[in-house]
Structure 1
Amino acid sequence: MQLYLPIADLPVNVFLILAMGAAVGFVSGMFGIGGGFLMTPLLIFIGITPAVAVASVASHIAASSFSGAISYWRRRAIDPALALVLLIGGTIGTALGVSTFTLLRSLGQLDLTIALSYVVLLTTVGALMFWEGLLAMRRIRRGVPAPRRTHGWIHTLPLKMRFKRSKMYLSVIPVVVIGVVIGFLGAVMGIGGGFILVPVMIYLLRVPTTTVIGTSMVLTLFTMLFATVLHAVTNHLVDAVLALMLMVGGVTGAQFGARAGQKIRSEQLRLLLGLLILAVGIRFAVELVIRPTELFTIREIGVNE
């Protein structure tokens, strides 16, 4: 069954979009991430322009993160102070990201920038996660304990603040910087950033695993909600019909993914997630070198341009 998307300006198969939403929801539920890094490329691969894909997926990620954040809040697995500091940086980063997005679109370089960003980010992060998961599995087989984590130079920075829920005394500088980076990437690339934020908070900031996922979901929720509003107001690219279909499929798939994730060991999850991220990055790289079917595109411009 075909359905016309008003903002994307093309017809799509309803069952295909629902299936994509369910598949990404399954992955999100299994790995505890937003899934934007996978949904945005899938939409681009089926012909939706990167600009519309990025803007529309932001609302999908915000909706998915809302249900997750509520669940973690009820379990007292969110650090409000840490989330607030992250949001300060995230708000700044999101505003900068949407401004950059608008500028690149006006210059006609947005599609190439998004594709290159996905290639670099996903191949790098995917390879690192795959390697780390592989090393963890080898350590377990040999009975070698995991290396003990020690405090680094980040914990010597000034402007320290006490985060009671996470039981940390840490400088707000790296927390704000991380929020800026995640907010910027989310606005430009249409990713929640959970697959980057969670490892960074655990291994760099030493945030306890009991609060890290819930706190990251709060940041993702508000930055993606802010990005959706900015994209809708400044660029008019949020396709509500597309976002709604993705949400329906995503909620359904997430329930099954969460159950499947509970049956797989953490190091195996990291290994599988690394492979998935790496595969998407490689797919984008292949797209960049394949000769397009249409060598020229037509873009509508204003009378004053």
Structure 2
Amino acid sequence: MELYLPIAELPMNVFILIGMGAAIGFLSGMFGVGGGFLLTPLLIFSGISPAVAVASVSSQIVANSASGMLAYIRKKTVDFKLGSFLLVSGIAGSGLGVLVYSLLLKVGQLDLVIALCYVGFLGTIGALMLVESTRALIAQKRGTQLPVKRPGQHGWMQKLPLRVRFERSRLYISVFPVIGLGVMIGFLGALLGIGGGFIMVPALIYLLRVPTTIVIGTTLMQTLGTMAFTTLMQASANQTVDVILGLCLMVGGVVGAQFGARVGQSLRGETLRLLLGLLVLAVGVRFAVDLIVTPTEIYSLSGTGGAS
């Protein structure tokens, strides 16, 4: 069943689109991440322009984040004060990201920049996750335990000014690393079409030492606000949000996430991080291969619009 995507300007099988959403939803539910960093490349590899893929995935991330955040609010595991700092700074970063996105779109360099960012970004994150999870698995097999820093131990951050107390997370830290983290995630989310959860979650745990029980709900609060803002900005400023594409991905994502969550609960944390690291690294390598290998059609005609 073919479905025409008006903004992407190409027909695609509706079941393939729903299947993509379900596959990424399954991985999201299993690994506890938003999945935008996997869904955006998958759409690009399927023939959808990077401009439309990045903008349309933002709408799907909003729906997933809203659903997840409601569940964590009911569990009372959201630090609204910390989330507010991350949200406000994230919106500022998203605005900057949309501005850079628009400039790159006008000069015709958006596709190249997105590919290069995914190669460097996912390659680095994937390699770090792979190393960390492998060390944990080896230590577990040997019966040793890696040193774990407890919440509240921040090292160099204790010396920074303008410290604020976040009672729910049991933190008393400077607002500068919090704001910096929010701006960075918001910027990357707007430019690359990622929710940023796979960066925000480990950053809050290992950098700010936020208790693990608070991290995911607080991250979803920031992701929901920044990606909703990004979607509105992309739709109004660049007209690159394909609503039909986003709806198909949402339907599949909701179903797939339920099955993924069940599978994820049966796996060890170290195993999940190892699998996720391999997956992230594989996507980065795929982008690198596409940049190096000579394309089938060396010369092609394309405009600089969002749907080219």
- The answer to which of 49-58 and 218-227 deviates more is 218-227
Q: Once the 2 structures are TM-superposed, how far is the Cα of residue 88 of structure 1 from its aligned partner?
A: 1.6
- How high is the TM-score relative to the length of structure 2? 0.96
Count of residues in correspondence between the two structures: 302
Counterpart pick for 1:197 among 193, 200, 208: 200
Deviating above 6 A after TM superposition, structure 1's stretches of 4 or more consecutive aligned residues are none
What is the rounded CA distance, in whole Å, between the counterparts of 2:148 and 2:4 in structure 1?
Answer: 54
1:73-84 to 2 correspondence within 5 Å?
73-84=73-84
Q: State the Cα deviation string for residues 37-88 of structure 1 (Å, max 9, x = none).
A: 0000000001000000000000001110110001001101100000000012
Match of 1:293 in 2: 296
1:230 aligns with 2:233: yes
Unpaired runs of 5+ in structure 1? none
Matches within 5 A, 1:193-272: 193-272=196-275
Structure 1, residues 172-216: CA drift from partner, whole Å, max 9, x if none? 110000000000000000001111111111101101101011101
1:35-50 map, 5 Å: 35-50=35-50
> How far apart are the structure 2 equivalents of 1:261 and 1:92?
34
CA distance in 1 between partners of 2:148 and 2:244 (Å):
49
CA distance in 2, matches of 1:25, 1:143: 34
Q: Which amino acid aligns with 1:175?
A: V
**CA distance in 2: counterparts of 1:270 and 1:12, whole angstroms:** 33
SS in 2 for 1:154: helix
Which of the residues 159, 165, 168 maps onto 1:165? 168
Match of 1:125?
A: 125
Alignment of 1:29-178 (within 5 A): 29-149=29-149, 150-178=153-181
2: CA distance between counterparts of 1:155 and 1:279? 37
Q: Which moved more, 1:289-298 or 1:216-225?
A: 289-298
Distance 2:100 2:15 in 1: 34
Task: Return the offset for 1:294.
Answer: 2.5
Q: What whole-Å deviation, never above 9, does each CA across 1:124-161 have from its counterpart, x for those lacking one?
A: 00010011000001111111122132431013211111
User: C-alpha root-mean-square deviation of aligned residues, in Å?
Assistant: 1.1
**Identical-residue share of aligned pairs (%):** 59
Gaps of 5+ in 2: none
Please state how far the C-alpha of 1:300 moved relative to its aligned partner. Answer: 4.2
User: CA separation in 1, counterparts of 2:158 and 2:278?
Assistant: 32
Contact 2:7–2:52 at 8 Å: present in 1 too? yes
**What is the letter of the counterpart of residue 196 of structure 1?**
I
Mapped to 1, the partners of 2:88 and 2:288 lie a distance apart of: 34
TM-score, length basis structure 1: 0.97
